[in-house]
Structure 1
Amino acid sequence: MSEALHIVCPHCQTTNRVPAAKLQMHPDCGKCGKPLFTGEPVELSADAFQRQIERSDIPVLVDFWAPWCGPCRMMAPAYAQAAQRLEPGVRVAKLNTEEAQAIAARYNIRSIPTLALFRGGQEVARQAGAMDVNGITAWARSNGA
């Protein structure tokens, strides 16, 4: 039997146990029935952010951004493409720093866009500035995603 991973649903925030061998099989949430991976970045609230980074057994890549930020908007399509490439081995998410100012302050986010990679609830890597899809995926993979 393969090892089960904890995967937090991006829709209802329920923690699911998914056998590692079945990650590629498009698993659904046991509670809400929606897909655990959509191939798109997950928009996180402050509560969902904590739950995703603390309870997920897979790495969580977070784009700290704001709606008024030109480089953030410019990078958004590339980040969406990166989600298609990185999932299901990585949860790809976005956190609006205007709506979650306390989290941005706690993680000392000084410029946006900033990508941060979390594993086991801890930040393991950070990169500020807009990147293209190849840069995002290469950076994430080079840091263990």
Structure 2
Amino acid sequence: MPEPVQVVCPHCDTINRVPADRLGNMPRCGKCRTALFEGRPASLSEVRFRRHLSHSGIPLLVDFWASWCGPCRTMAPEFEAAARALEPRMRLAKVSTEEAPGLAAELRISGIPMLALFAGGQEVARQAGAMPARQIIEWASRATVGA
């Protein structure tokens, strides 16, 4: 039997243990009963980001963005399309640099949109600038091979 993978619920932040071979079977949260993967990015505050980062057994791909940023708004539907393609292999999330300026400073997010990929609680890759969904998927897939 495959080792279970920890998956943090995008709704209630409960840590769930899901058998690795069942990630694609539309698993539900043991606490709130919502789907663990919905094919769209989770919106995370600084506190929620830290919980997902420290407890997720799958890579976490984060779009750091701001509401005033035109390229960020342009990339939003592309990032959502990438979520549909990349889940459940990784969790996609959005963090507003306006709402989490301390986190953005700590991670040295100097330009947005900024994609940062985390695995095992550590940043493994980052990419600045707006990208189409296909490019996001290809970049994230390549970056997780060595992670």
Q: TM-score, normalised by structure 2?
A: 0.97
| 3-state SS in 1 of match to 2:77 | helix
Q: How far does residue 3 in structure 1 lie from its aligned partner after superposition?
A: 1.1
Q: How far does residue 16 in structure 1 lie from its aligned partner after superposition?
A: 0.3
| 1:20-43 CA distance string (max 9 Å, x none) | 011000000001101101100100
| 1:11-69 CA distance string (max 9 Å, x none) | 01010000001100000000110110110010001111001111001000000000000
Counterpart AA for 1:70: G
**Percent sequence identity over matched residues?**
56
Gaps of 5+ in 1: none
Runs (4 or more) in structure 1 with deviation over 6 Å come to: none
| 3-state SS in 1 of match to 2:24 | helix
**Whole-angstrom distance in 2 between the partners of 1:135 and 1:143:** 12
| 3-state SS in 2 of match to 1:144 | helix
**Whole-angstrom distance in 2 between the partners of 1:75 and 1:38:** 19
| 3-state SS in 2 of match to 1:76 | helix
| 3-state SS in 2 of match to 1:6 | strand
Matching of residue 40 in structure 1 with residue 54 in structure 2? no
Q: TM-score, normalised by structure 1?
A: 0.99
Superposition RMSD in Å: 0.7
The correspondence of residues 1-145 of structure 1 with structure 2, limited to 5 A, is 1-144=1-144
| 3-state SS in 2 of match to 1:25 | coil
Gaps of 5+ in 2: none
**Whole-angstrom distance in 1 between the partners of 2:44 and 2:73:** 17
Size of the aligned set, in residue pairs, is: 145
**Whole-angstrom distance in 1 between the partners of 2:35 and 2:133:** 23
Counterpart AA for 1:44: L
